[in-house]
Each structure stands twice: as structure tokens, then as C-alpha cells.
Structure 1
């Protein structure tokens, strides 16, 4: 694995521990199969020490991962590729104007 590439999985020892959100490979356990989650290194209110916390956790019900559960990481993509390209935009249907509707209730 190349440690400089942004699209390769890296060892957790090199993961940022400054609160940056990252993609992480979560090892399979008796609670479920291996998965990928967005996590960050932070101190959760129920834990004295910082730990890996899923970013879709709530304050009352945090998804906290032990160090051994988080296998590899990579940075989140910095940008999303454009969905509409000039070629595709020309193929899209024209939307109704002046409050007209097409096959719907107009709600």
C-alpha cells in the first residue's frame, strides 16, 4: 500500500487523531460482518480516553470502536465528480414552465 496515495487503505498507526473524519475498515465481530464507516478520533462523554467514534453517532448513543476493531483507513474524497456534464445536460428533458405540470398533481 502506498502511504501517499489518497485511494489506498493505510495502517491505522498513520491515521490522523485530530478529529478529522476518515473512512475506516471495521473488523467483523460477533455483532456483525466487516464494514466501512466514517469515524473520527475524539473524546466521547462516557469515555475518559479518546477513541474512534462513528460520525453518525448521537450524543446519547455513540458508536465507539476499540482500537483493534478499526483495521485500515483512508481519507474521505476531497470532492465529488460533477454529475451533470454538458453532454448529459443536452439529453435531459426540459422541465415545464409557467406552473404547468406533467402527469402529476402539481403539489
Structure 2
């Protein structure tokens, strides 16, 4: 699996505004899923934090840090890839990115 297409801990997610894929923890609202999110430094629409606006046009969704399990860089465009990767299904005590720390 190449560097771009693996899940990583949210602690290492970029907070520079670029869009990334995130796995959302399962909750009473539904199963775990993948969303396209970015870090916002805060503006007239809300406080600093993780947001998603691409999945629901016209609706800005704010995610609290504990709602997000892990992240992955945006995959490059490819005609053979037509959908999002599946959410990370591993257990909390399993390694996400090869780090045992």
C-alpha cells in the first residue's frame, strides 16, 4: 500500500486547510463512514475545527475531534478508482500507520 493510501492517526492530520479523507466513528446515527474534511481556522460560519462541506452541498458539517478516528490523504485521480475507500475497521489497540508509539 503506498504512502498516500493508508489510514493514519488524527493527531498527524494536516491543519492547513487541505481536504483529506476521514473515518468517522460509528454512533447512534449510523455506521462508520468516510467523509471529505478540512481544518478550518474559524470564520463567520463557526469556530476552529474539522469541517466537511463537500458531501452535503450547502451544508457545513462540523466534526468534534473525538468523532474522527483516522485520516488519509486525498487519492490522486484515476479512472480505475470511482469511489471512496472503505472506513478503517480496525480495533483501537491496532496500529493505524505502522507506529507502535
TM-score range, shorter chain: 0.5 to 0.7
Structure 1 gap segments, 5+ residues each: 84-107
Structure 2 gap segments, 5+ residues each: 82-101
Deviating runs (4+, > 6 A) in structure 1?
none
Q: Which residue matches 1:22?
A: 20
Deviation, 1:44, is: 5.0
Measured in 2, the distance between the counterparts of 1:44 and 1:30 equals 29
> How many equivalent pairs are there?
79
Aligned-partner SS, 2:11: helix
The alignment's TM-score, normalised by the length of structure 1, stands at 0.62
Deviation, 1:16, is: 0.5
RMSD: 2.5
Deviation, 1:19, is: 0.5
Measured in 1, the distance between the counterparts of 2:5 and 2:57 equals 29
Aligned pair 1:72/2:70, yes or no? Answer: yes
Q: Which residue matches 1:103?
A: none
Among candidates 4, 10, 14, match of residue 6 of structure 1? 4
Which protein is bigger by CA-based radius of gyration?
1
Report matched runs for 1:28-107 at 5 Å: 28-42=26-40, 43=42, 45-48=44-47, 50-56=48-54, 57=56, 61-81=59-79
